[in-house]
Amino acid sequence: MKNKITKVIIPAAGFGTRFLPATKAQPKEMLPIVDKPVIQYVVEEAVNSGIQDIIIVTSWQKRSLEDHFDYSLELQRQLELSGKTEQLKEVKRIAEMANFIYVRQKGPYGNATPVISAAHIIGDEPFAVLWGDEFFHAEPPRLKQMIDVYEKYGNPVISAVRVPDEDVDRYGIADIKQIKDNVYQILSIHEKPEVGKAPSNLATHGAYILTPEILEILKKLKPGKSGELWLTDAINILMKEKPIFACEILNSKYYDTGNKLEYLKANIEFALSRDDLREPLLKYIKSIQENE
């Protein structure tokens, strides 16, 4: 019987230079979408997909991440005394969602380094990787859709979305063979191909389910582009040993909250989805348009 996916690695050690100076003393993953930090959306996706252990790979300036997912007894006491029961329930729920494990990143730059840093916790189990500064809104959750594919085929799975043909040069694009419905075998991944030369418009990014064999590959991985260790390089090696599948995520929307404009769009969209904010915000937007 295949091992179940119970652990997820969330890399969160980067400097967040695209959002400076806001991220000089605040992790980019803690930037709020309305009133909830980006990384909480990522954690909730994992928890709602059945994950029990959340491994967050951090660095020296990311202590507030740990504080966010911990109990705050003084705050809880103040909320209790103030009769703010709903807020009290929410802050306690955040700490109780999962088992949180924190690892300091060590090693060279590159998105493979967080996985290497957490390898001793993974052991010989399959595991998931989700980035801490972007998220999907999907039903069922993106990771749950991927886990369903893994449990059926028993091989690594990468999340995938369709992108406009004119945007293929912004993504890793998969050369694919359809297996069934929204499941494809990846024949190769072309990193940021020229427009008109991409093998498809299926972008593979955002989330991975990987098997423990990749940990041995990562131990021997040589630095690639810009002298960094890239997870994609290790996946391309693993692809020679076993099939790797793309799961096209259904009923979903991708939020690239590491990008300033997309971050602002996400805030507006989520605010408009809330009954307490929608009408006042629409009124304000209309007033701006009228005064231009």
Secondary structure of 267-279 as H, E, C letters: HHHHHHCCCCCHH
> Looking at residue 223, what is its pLDDT?
82
> Looking at residue 41, what is its pLDDT?
95
State the average pLDDT over residues 237-261: 90
For the purposes of burial, counting CB atoms within 10 Å of the CB of 291, is it exposed (0-12), middle (13-18) or buried (19 or more)? Answer: exposed
State the average pLDDT over residues 113-139: 92
> Looking at residue 109, what is its pLDDT?
83
* Confidence class for position 1, pLDDT limits 50, 70, 90: very low
Residue at 163 is within a domain: no
State the average pLDDT over residues 245-273: 91
Residue 254, SS3 per DSSP:
strand
> Looking at residue 194, what is its pLDDT?
84
Q: Is-contact 229 276, C-beta < 8 A? A: no
Residue 167, SS3 per DSSP:
helix
Report the alpha-carbon distance of residue 290 to residue 292 in Å, rounded. Answer: 6
* Confidence class for position 2, pLDDT limits 50, 70, 90: low
Q: What distance, in Å, lies between the first and last C-alpha atoms of the chain?
A: 63
Residue at 112 is within a domain: yes
pLDDT tens readout for residues 151-189: 999 999 999 988 888 888 877 888 889 999 999 999 988
Residue at 64 is within a domain: yes
* Confidence class for position 254, pLDDT limits 50, 70, 90: confident
Instruction: List the single range of 20-24, 92-96, 189-193 with lowest mean pLDDT.
Output: 189-193
Domain encompassing residue 70: 7-158+206-258
Query: For the chain, how many structural domains are there in total?
Result: 1
Q: What's the pTM?
A: 0.91
Report the alpha-carbon distance of residue 9 to residue 50 in Å, rounded. Answer: 14
Residue at 186 is within a domain: no
CB contact set of 26 (below 8 Å; sequence gap of 6+): 64
pLDDT tens readout for residues 84-124: 999 999 999 999 999 999 999 887 788 889 999 999 999 89
Report the alpha-carbon distance of residue 205 to residue 245 in Å, rounded. Answer: 12
Q: Supply the CATH number for residue 76's domain.
A: 3.90.550.10
Alpha-carbon Rg of the chain, whole angstroms? 20
For residue 16, pLDDT over 50 is answered with yes
> Looking at residue 205, what is its pLDDT?
80
Residue at 70 is within a domain: yes
Residue at 233 is within a domain: yes
Report the alpha-carbon distance of residue 54 to residue 143 in Å, rounded. Answer: 13
Residue at 213 is within a domain: yes
Report the alpha-carbon distance of residue 114 to residue 226 in Å, rounded. Answer: 17
Residue at 166 is within a domain: no
